[in-house]
């Protein structure tokens, strides 16, 4: 009976370790949504401080919808991009080191390549 209980607990512990989100460590020139940094990186206090420094509500929508840039030392720059409500998008490639972006940002050029 005891052996069965311990086996069940071991299986549950193994499953829990597989489903835990990978912590995000800021790296140089990578931007992350506030929601990503709070949920997976533990940057809540830092984000609230940045928002207060810029006269924004530290518990408002920018807490999750702001895009925050990382510095080399793993801390956040004292600034942010306002993506708009529900427009900050976590990367869909499942590579945390590539960062997030604002939904609807243009990443290309509408001009033809005239060098060819």
* 16-71 confidence digits (pLDDT tens): 444 455 666 776 668 999 988 888 778 999 999 999 999 999 999 999 899 999 88
Task: Please say if the pLDDT value at position 12 is more than 60.
Answer: no
**Domain-located, residue 7:** no
Task: Please say if the pLDDT value at position 6 is more than 60.
Answer: no
Cβ neighbourhood burial of 56 (10 Å; 0-12, 13-18, 19+): middle
Q: 47 and 68 in contact (C-beta within 8 Å)?
A: yes
What is the rounded distance in angstroms from the CA atom of residue 47 to the CA atom of residue 58? 8
How many CA atoms lie within 13 Å of 40's alpha carbon, on the beta-carbon side? Answer: 19
- Specify the pLDDT at position 78: 93
Residue among 39, 38, 59 at smallest CA distance from 48: 59
Range of the domain at 61: 23-102
Domain count for the chain, please give it: 1
**Domain-located, residue 43:** yes
**Domain-located, residue 5:** no
**Domain-located, residue 11:** no
């Amino acid at each position: 009976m005891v052996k069965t209980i311990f086996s069940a607990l071991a299986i549950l512990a193994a499953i829990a370790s597989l489903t835990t989100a990978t912590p995000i460590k800021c790296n140089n020139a990578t931007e992350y949504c506030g929601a990503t940094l709070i949920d997976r990186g533990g940057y809540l206090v830092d984000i609230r401080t940045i928002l207060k420094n810029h006269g924004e509500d530290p518990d408002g929508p920018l807490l999750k919808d702001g895009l925050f840039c990382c510095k080399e030392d793993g801390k956040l720059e004292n600034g942010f991009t306002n993506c708009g409500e529900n427009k900050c998008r976590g990367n869909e490639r499942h590579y945390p080191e590539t960062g997030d972006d604002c939904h609807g940002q243009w990443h290309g050029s509408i001009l033809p390549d005239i060098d060819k």
